[in-house]
Amino acid sequence: MSPAIVILSVIAAVLAAYMVIAKSPITSALCLLGVLIMTAAIYGLIGEHLIATIQLVVYAGAIMVLFVFSIMLLNLNNDETDYRKNPLIFFGSIAAGLGLFTLIVLGLKEYFEKHHAQRLLGMFNHETVQKLGGNSKVLAHALFTQFYISFEVISLALLTAVVGAVVLAKRKVD
């Protein structure tokens, strides 16, 4: 448990928690941005450099910008923008969330105590990756040889998304 990861995690957790209760949407968007950056940092610290870069460029750089644009565009007034106060939904959600968290943690605990030691390891430990040319090279090689079909399909998906977004948002010409 390296201290850097701990600090980054704590900051990410606090930002995520604040995102729930923040009053204005812009504050929430900025908190989300913060979480994304912290997560990208964590990726970097454990050696997943390509993913960290992609996260920063795509997620934090493109998606969040889009969100901020939309919030600005919608010109939301600041009343009634925070969380729902209906006690049934409020406490129900919190309870459900807590329940879910507990379940997952319990499951994790059981896994790490019983099964983690006997797991099957792949071949890409740290030394091998460095020998093969680093994380990006290894990933790129796998992407363009073993998983190239998925790669092409993803391109098609992106194309569809672009077309769909344009069609949906078009103003109907009266």
Partner 1 sequence: MTNDMFIQILAAFLFTMGLLVVLLRRDTIMILMGIELLLNAANLSLVGFSNSSHMIEGQLQVFFIITIAAAESAIGLSILVNLYRNFGSIKTQSATTLKG
Partner 2 sequence: MDTTTYSVLPFLILISPLVGFFINGVVLPLKYKGFAKTDANVAGGIATFFIFFSFILALISFFQLKGLEAQVGSLTSYCFEWFNFGGLKIPFELRIDRLSGLLVLIITGVGTLIHLYSTSYMHDEECVGRYFAYLNLFCFNMLLLVMGNNLALMFFGWEGVGLCSYLLIGFWYTETEKANAGKKAFIVNRVGDLGFLIGMFLLFRELGTLSFPEMINMIQTNPDQIAPSATLICLSLFVGATGKSAQMPLYVWLPDAMSGPTPVSALIHAATMVTAGVYMIARLNPLFELSTVALSVIAHVGALTALFAGTIAIAQTDIKKVLAYSTVSQLGFMFLACGVGAYQTAVFHLMTHAFFKALLFLGSGSVIHACSGEQDMTKLGNLKKYLPHTHLTMLIGSLAISGIPFFSGFFSKDEILYSTIALPGGVSYLFVVGVLTACLTAFYTGRMMSLTFYGTERLSHDVKHHIHESPALMTFPLYVLAGLAALGGFLGVPHLLGDYLGHMPHALSHWLEPIIPSKVLPLVGVKMPLHEGLVMVGSSILAIFFYVLGVSLFKKVFFISDLISGIAPLQKILANKYYVDEFYDLIIVTPLKKIAAFSSAVIDKLVVDGAVNGLGRGVRRVSTELRALQTGDLQSYGLMMLFGVLVAAFFIFKVLV
- Segment 11-70, which members bind partner 1 (CB under 8 A)? 12-13, 16-17, 19-20, 25, 28-29, 32, 35-36, 39, 42-43, 46-48, 50-51, 54-55, 58-59, 62-63, 66-67, 70
| Angle at CA of residue 102, ends 120 and 36, nearest 5° | 75
User: 21 or 163: whose CB is closer to partner 2?
Assistant: 21
Q: Is 51 buried (19+), middle (13-18) or exposed (0-12) by CB count in 10 A? A: middle
Binders in 55-84 for partner 2, by CB under 8 A:
84
Please tell me whether residue 171 adopts helix, strand or coil conformation.
coil
Give the span between the Cα atoms of 159 and 161, in whole angstroms.
Answer: 5
Please tell me whether residue 24 adopts helix, strand or coil conformation.
coil
Question: Is 107 a residue that touches partner 2 (CB under 8 A)?
Answer: yes
Exactly one of 78, 105, 133, 148 binds partner 1 (CB under 8 A); that residue is 105
Q: For residue 123, what are its two tokens?
A: 């071949």
Instruction: Please identify, among the stretches 59-67, 98-106, 151-159, 163-171, the one whose residues bind partner 2 according to the rule CB under 8 A.
Output: 98-106
